[in-house]
Amino acid sequence: MTRDDIIKITKEQNINFLRLQFCDINGMMKNVAMPISQLEKALDGMMMFDGSSIDGFARIQESDMYLKPDYDSFTILSWRNKNGVAAARLICDVHMSDGTPFDGCPRITLKKTLAKAKEMGFTMNVGTEAEFFLFKMDEDGNPTTETNDKAGYFSLDPDDEGTNCRREIIETLESMGFEIEASHHEVAEGQHEINFKYADALTCADNTLTFKWVVKAVAKKYNLYATFMPKPIFGINGSGMHCNQSLFNLDGSNAFFDESGRLGLSEVAYQYIAGITKNARGFSAITNPLVNSYKRLVPGYEAPVYVAWSASNRSALVRIPASRGMGTRVEVRCPDPTCNPYLAFAMMLNSGLDGVANKMTPPKSIDVNIFAMTQDEKDEAGIASMPANLQEAMDELKANPIAKETLGTHIMEKYCMIKACEWDSFRTAVTDWEIKTYLEVQ
């Protein structure tokens, strides 16, 4: 997509408003809306905003920042069409007032890691599977945790608002250029999954943020609330975001595939797996960023609690799907959909590259149900557990050299500060569980 292409499309499609979107450190989409009269200024990267007002961005004395759009991200927002007047969006990188890239921009952080991979001879492809719940709204329009269906995994779609909502989400995504591969009802009541085609890591991160935005916007039309919260209801499965990832050689071949290799995997694939398993505890605070994330990562709900890998075992953190050839990939199952996809992909990629650069050997694959193993059996097999809570995850993050290298000083410091406040708020809160358990008996 070129500058002239965008100008031409906006005239032909009667686009009157443009959204410039970017991502903060927490993975929240931000945007500035402007009339189309400002299009050329926006395309030239001259739209300024106050970075000191964005959590984790700039200090007040260096607050002027610019949004530099990625022309290839230009998309018409089909659901914003009113009486023939349309809107569009561009995803942007954040730059400082002197024109240099901002070290605190997550999108730029991923770009830096992808540049490192390219120097090593690789590109990265990713496909995400972000699960979500649809909940009813109350009379005042506030979200509840009451699901709108009683269906289960792969249930035949009932004729209800949830199904109609999911159908419109798919139609909206397709109108925005997504290639939808499948959708289905997930294990828990009210839980859904929509799978779209993999892409290069940067595009996939853009798509993942856009996907979450569209899901929430469409759900609201049906008086439903869509949430990507990892564990909104006790006692049932939570929502994950499995990340299927592969390295490709610069000639376009899949670097993970070797027809003559054990399991059809190349040495690069095994080294990548080794890097992921070595650094998994260290990147957990990025892939699973909330206090609530660790309510999902517990045994008994199909969530990957244990640091292990397997070609067939879904209780392991890393699974190798059966597809081979161009479809050979590694599925990392711990991330949840509240993570910042730019930072999560950067951390997982650099962790895998750590294994490749240092020619690591992965631990022995675990091809039995880890949930059924005793602690002694897990200890004997060398199977570590993922962090049990956000504080433990943050300790691992701060101790991990790959994290410091990937995130850089600015994001590392700001992220740790934000999460320390979040943990302290949780640690000192008095919960309903405590009131019910202790108030009358103590």
In contact, 80 and 87? CB cutoff 8 Å: yes
In contact, 304 and 334? CB cutoff 8 Å: yes
Question: In terms of Cα–Cα distance, which of 56, 51, 28, 18 is closest to 411?
Answer: 56
- Which domains are delineated in the chain? 13-101 (3.10.20.70), 112-432 (3.30.590.10)
Question: In terms of Cα–Cα distance, which of 227, 348, 366 is closest to 286?
Answer: 348
Question: In terms of Cα–Cα distance, which of 139, 133, 141, 158 is closest to 233?
Answer: 133
Question: In terms of Cα–Cα distance, which of 266, 311, 341 is closest to 25?
Answer: 341
**Which pLDDT score is estimated for 187?**
74
Question: In terms of Cα–Cα distance, which of 331, 289, 316 is closest to 420?
Answer: 289
Q: 88: which 2 tokens?
A: 């569009």
Residues whose CB is less than 8 angstroms from the CB of residue 57 and which lie 6 or more positions away in sequence, other chains included: 24, 25, 51, 65, 94, 102, 104, 414
Q: 84 phi and psi, to 5 degrees?
A: 80, 0
Residues serving a catalytic function are 50, 129, 131, 186, 193, 242, 314, 331, 333
Amino acid in the structure at residue 221: K
Q: 409 phi and psi, to 5 degrees?
A: -65, -45
Question: In terms of Cα–Cα distance, which of 355, 347, 201 is closest to 277?
Answer: 355
Give the DSSP H/E element, type plus range, for residue 278.
helix 267-287
**Which pLDDT score is estimated for 302?**
73
Nearest-angstrom CA–CA distance, 362 and 276? 9
**Which pLDDT score is estimated for 183?**
83
In contact, 307 and 357? CB cutoff 8 Å: no
Packing angle of the helix pair 341-357, 106-119 (nearest 10 deg):
20
Nearest-angstrom CA–CA distance, 48 and 64? 6
Q: By three-state DSSP, how is residue 174 classified?
A: helix
pLDDT along the chain (442 residues), means of 10: 95 94 95 93 91 68 83 91 87 93 96 98 97 92 86 61 87 93 82 92 97 95 95 92 97 97 96 98 98 91 88 88 94 97 98 98 92 90 94 98 96 96 97 91 76
Q: 33 phi and psi, to 5 degrees?
A: -100, 140
**Which pLDDT score is estimated for 155?**
62
Q: 431 phi and psi, to 5 degrees?
A: -95, 165
Nearest-angstrom CA–CA distance, 313 and 296? 19
**Which pLDDT score is estimated for 158?**
57
Q: 364: which 2 tokens?
A: 């022995």
**Which pLDDT score is estimated for 54?**
79
Nearest-angstrom CA–CA distance, 133 and 136? 10
Q: Which residue has 């002027």 as its token pair? A: 64
Q: 43 phi and psi, to 5 degrees?
A: -65, -25
Nearest-angstrom CA–CA distance, 337 and 98? 34
